Structure 1
């Protein structure tokens, strides 16, 4: 059984492709069960965010996974394949360690991805697709991410996607404090954005969410108002900044809605930030003269230019990850050896039981105890040495020297004297 990682991310695929293979939260359990149906894939977890869709799985061969990913989303494989990467065991382990540590993120060192990985693991565990191998992998992943964040400066001065959204708006408006902000959704990313915008002190903040209770809970934290999500179209002209991040399968803000809003605003500009995958805001809106529309890919252009100062931290983090990859592979190799160790110990136990039984019979017949013990020890020695001795005698050519070295190492024999 081997570990594999297969997927695409913001490095390999544009947003238009990423949103087509993103998994809706309500279909994730179905996807996990479908992926592990049959014997090809034994264990699986799916990580699906705005920047990446990745399958982590245990299988004998990885070929099935790419076909499955395209098929599940009803896409021709040739449309997806150019953007996919497939990592075999060592590379897969290293990849998930780097992802969780924030080294593979659009914003280097951002912490949100670790929570997203933990959510993916929780969903796989609840779906029953997280076996022993993946469970150990992700426990190691979380430990590595914690070590990287606590012992390096990888997270120092990190500009999150939420902070980048505020920076974008500050480029368009002279003062964010004069603007009215609408958040569509109430998930983790909206919560982060609300926290960053609250720091800029806008005139008002409003949260529109399908679940009213969740929207109110978030609004109460930041002194924001709430609004029914079905009123977004009517109320849109009142807002200068719109930040949207939901799990809706179809756009919430359409072109016609935006055109009506701009007309009602008498062409005062609006900033729209779409952090959702699939997109919440129709891409055509970005062509309007008075709307500045930004997607998750655009945010990469406005992150803080602090990468150079963090390069030493990256080197340190990569060193930690490489070391922990070796450690995890050692655990996997030791795990593979367990059946052999058990068989060897059982063989030795069978030999011991047979010799002890033979010695007891001799003693019961009145045999001399010293001679019986001598026979017992010789019997154990001969039977336990039979396998290694035959292995040495049957080795030929170059294998003979290798056999000698292996046996010397196994039994901790002194070096051969020349």
Structure 2
């Protein structure tokens, strides 16, 4: 199930992703049609990869996921269902491999998404929602992304949502030297880390960090910069040339509050809001002396990649997806082959017990066993080869059904393996961060007592 910037507005994507961290666990508990689930939630996409026990269960699994998302987001099931497009079968691997390689991003070729895909799988494994099939899918997607980054020009560009946003900021500034700019970063998540690294690369030395969760001091300890709290935030924002929102928390900088903090200042301010749920009130862009850049601004300004690089990357993604599907189909009959072999060998062992009971452990009995085992091996050769051939044509279910019909063999499916992490810092408060340290301390104490 896929909801992205390419199909719906970012506000709807943000609403859908409310409560995303518990969706997979809840869906598994809600319906037996959901065998496994991995959630990929980023700044401009909300995707849920699910595995159903059988093809007939796909619609029931989708309905369970839609119902759970409706409950957590507060949106109607009809709206949720319309907002998601659904991929099944080989289309799933093709889509995820393209996503992880940056081909489906607002900034084509961006490398941040590969890490987000990796973290989504890790989180699902920690929560016990990643089935064995989904683990293999996501691992293959990560390998494909790595290959695309290493073997095409897309990886060498080093483009990202953050880098394009910083380029836009320079285009809007009279001062193009980052070493002379004062920057305030909101958030301590993965995007905040990427932002800090890029600012350092571009020569920025005056970087302050605020986090409503109080993690700023820990964050800057390994990255440099100055940690802000409720007492020091106002002064830092008042003197800033650029402020960058990367937290995606429930609080945001309101236009009226920013106007009050910046009252009397003639210093232009560029506000870069990279949070899907908005760290900055959209009305901030209407204030005198303030330029507001959003994810939509970044998407529109993202450079188009060269056709040759895109074609090469797309071909790699398609080839990798096809190879994955072929391996998956071949693997899907492994359990059936094992079941047939086990059934046949059990019959052989039973017959040999009768031979030994009658003739003892004699040379004649050993010759009989050797001959029978060789015969069984020959008899199993054709069914095994045929299983592989059927799997390669997507007919593995026919093979399994035949075993059940002819031999009464029940084929056991492989056991499942053991929260998608948005790159934003999702710690939340009930008030704007510019309202000071009092609310920060109250909410921190409330979280600690919870």
Please tell me whether the aligned partners of residues 196 and 223 of structure 2 are also in contact (alpha carbons under 8 angstroms): no
SS in 2 for 1:313: helix
Please tell me whether the aligned partners of residues 27 and 64 of structure 2 are also in contact (alpha carbons under 8 angstroms): no
Q: Within 5 Å, give how 1:15-414 maps onto structure 2.
A: 15-23=10-18, 28=21, 30-38=22-30, 39-59=32-52, 60-61=57-58, 62-177=62-177, 178-202=180-204, 204-210=206-212, 212=214, 214-215=216-217, 217-218=219-220, 221-222=223-224, 224-229=225-230, 231-233=232-234, 235-251=236-252, 253-266=253-266, 268-305=267-304, 307-308=305-306, 311-357=307-353, 359-360=355-356, 363=359
SS in 1 for 2:121: helix
SS in 1 for 2:15: coil
Question: Structure 1 residue 187: deviation in Å?
Answer: 2.1
Please give the alpha-carbon distance, in whole angstroms, between the structure 1 residues aligned to 2:40 and 2:368.
Answer: 63
Please give the alpha-carbon distance, in whole angstroms, between the structure 2 residues aligned to 1:120 and 1:327.
Answer: 23
Please tell me whether the aligned partners of residues 186 and 215 of structure 1 are also in contact (alpha carbons under 8 angstroms): no
> Residues 229 and 87 (structure 1 numbering): CA distance in 2 closer, same or farther, change over 3 Å?
farther
> Residues 144 and 202 (structure 1 numbering): CA distance in 2 closer, same or farther, change over 3 Å?
closer
- String of CA shifts for 1:283-328, please: whole Å, max 9, x gaps: 12223343211111211233345x12xx223222222222222232
Please give the alpha-carbon distance, in whole angstroms, between the structure 1 residues aligned to 2:172 and 2:221.
Answer: 25
Please give the alpha-carbon distance, in whole angstroms, between the structure 2 residues aligned to 1:48 and 1:180.
Answer: 31
- String of CA shifts for 1:225-280, please: whole Å, max 9, x gaps: 221146434542211211011131232x01211221343314x4311001112111
Question: Structure 1 residue 281: deviation in Å?
Answer: 0.6
Please give the alpha-carbon distance, in whole angstroms, between the structure 2 residues aligned to 1:293 and 1:254.
Answer: 13
Task: Give the root-mean-square deviation of aligned CA atoms.
Answer: 3.3
Please give the alpha-carbon distance, in whole angstroms, between the structure 2 residues aligned to 1:125 and 1:346.
Answer: 31
The number of equivalent residue pairs is 370
Please give the alpha-carbon distance, in whole angstroms, between the structure 2 residues aligned to 1:46 and 1:20.
Answer: 15
Question: Structure 1 residue 91: deviation in Å?
Answer: 0.8
Please give the alpha-carbon distance, in whole angstroms, between the structure 2 residues aligned to 1:233 and 1:23.
Answer: 29
SS in 2 for 1:88: coil
> Residues 288 and 210 (structure 1 numbering): CA distance in 2 closer, same or farther, change over 3 Å?
closer
Question: Structure 1 residue 63: deviation in Å?
Answer: 3.2
> Residues 81 and 32 (structure 1 numbering): CA distance in 2 closer, same or farther, change over 3 Å?
closer
1:400 aligned residue: none
> Residues 214 and 204 (structure 1 numbering): CA distance in 2 closer, same or farther, change over 3 Å?
closer
Question: Structure 1 residue 111: deviation in Å?
Answer: 1.0
> Residues 264 and 23 (structure 1 numbering): CA distance in 2 closer, same or farther, change over 3 Å?
same
Question: Structure 1 residue 195: deviation in Å?
Answer: 2.7
Please give the alpha-carbon distance, in whole angstroms, between the structure 1 residues aligned to 2:103 and 2:216.
Answer: 32
TM-score for both structures, normalised by structure 1: 0.78
TM-score for both structures, normalised by structure 2: 0.73
Q: Within 5 Å, give how 1:5-16 maps onto structure 2.
A: 6-16=1-11
Please tell me whether the aligned partners of residues 185 and 244 of structure 1 are also in contact (alpha carbons under 8 angstroms): yes
Gaps of 5+ in 2: 384-450
Question: Structure 1 residue 214: deviation in Å?
Answer: 4.3
Higher RCO structure (Cα 8 Å, ≥6 apart): 2
Please give the alpha-carbon distance, in whole angstroms, between the structure 1 residues aligned to 2:333 and 2:257.
Answer: 63
- Pick the structure with greater CA Rg: 1
Please give the alpha-carbon distance, in whole angstroms, between the structure 1 residues aligned to 2:235 and 2:274.
Answer: 22
Please give the alpha-carbon distance, in whole angstroms, between the structure 1 residues aligned to 2:264 and 2:70.
Answer: 43
Please tell me whether the aligned partners of residues 41 and 57 of structure 1 are also in contact (alpha carbons under 8 angstroms): yes
Please tell me whether the aligned partners of residues 11 and 276 of structure 2 are also in contact (alpha carbons under 8 angstroms): no
